[in-house]
Amino acid sequence: MRTAAVTSRTHPLLKQLRGAFAGNLRLSGGLVAIEGEHLIYEALRSGVRLERVFLADDRSAPEWLPEGVAVLEVDREVLRSAAETLSPQGIAALVRAPEWRLDEVCRPESGPLVLIAAGLQDPGNLGTLVRSAEAFGAACVLTTAGTVSVWNAKAVRASAGSAFRLPVVRVAREDLLDLRHKGVPILAAVAQDSREGTPPIEAAEATLHGACALLIGNEGSGLTQEWLGVATGRIAIPMPGPVESLNAATAGSILLYEAARQRAERTS
């Protein structure tokens, strides 16, 4: 028997959901909020634990939802007020995000392909890069201070579920220096006509079939001198058209594709 739906916007669990969508760890209890059937299904498929599902009172639970999962029925308009988007699906969930350690997911001896996001502030860009990184066989994505959280609701949506499966680890400059010391070249993505430091290598000419890390900078200002100083080399994407630069997610995706292409060619 269905119980009466929650109609109060101040219900403690709705406050928790609202806090999770806002990225407030204190209010969310460290949980991540996701919305829509596709993302919730992807979370389940990826082995992520569902702590609670919030369901609009005018719809049924999906058939694939496991038995035993706590479900709170909520008035649709009240649920809409707590959710990140105005999705008509009427379903959201709180999940326990996976946690990863750098030494577990990035082993230099295995020849990993790594993407490093340094100072990316647009959650859509980060989520897209995580999705591309999984698609093109990267071992992990590393994020620096100043980069938006991968668990930002928009970043999770843009990743289309990849954030649940591909390890994303926050790192410091010292971690990247240690990675370089262990034999992983770090290639900084720069503009083709960059006049600072060593001239960049065109992507197709760079050696990307072995261990390597691709370093992508901030959407507006690119890579700071701090991060350029970590790199062992610079890489650029040739652009014959009259465009000064590419979107960070586009540039990173092209470089990941080139790395995957070289790796496939080497093993064929």
The predicted-structure confidence for 94-118, as pLDDT tens digits, reads as follows: 999 889 999 999 999 999 999 999 9
Which structural domains are found in the chain, ordered by start? 12-96 (3.30.1330.30), 102-267 (3.40.1280.10)
Give pLDDT, residue 239: 85
Give pLDDT, residue 25: 76
Residue 253 has pLDDT above 90, yes or no: yes
Strand order in the sheet with 168-170: 168-170, 140-143, 113-117, 212-216, 186-189, 233-236, 201-202
Q: What is the mean pLDDT of residues 40-64?
A: 93
CA-to-CA distance for 197 and 188, rounded, in angstroms?
A: 11
Q: What is the mean pLDDT of residues 30-53?
A: 93
Q: What is the mean pLDDT of residues 134-155?
A: 96
- pLDDT category, 1, cuts 50, 70, 90? very low
pTM over 0.85: yes
Residue 195 has pLDDT above 80, yes or no: no
- pLDDT category, 194, cuts 50, 70, 90? low
Residue 196 has pLDDT above 70, yes or no: no
Give pLDDT, residue 3: 63
Q: What is the mean pLDDT of residues 204-212?
A: 94
Residue 204 has pLDDT above 50, yes or no: yes
Give pLDDT, residue 267: 82
CA-to-CA distance for 71 and 33, rounded, in angstroms?
A: 14
Percent of the chain with pLDDT over 70: 95
Give pLDDT, residue 4: 73
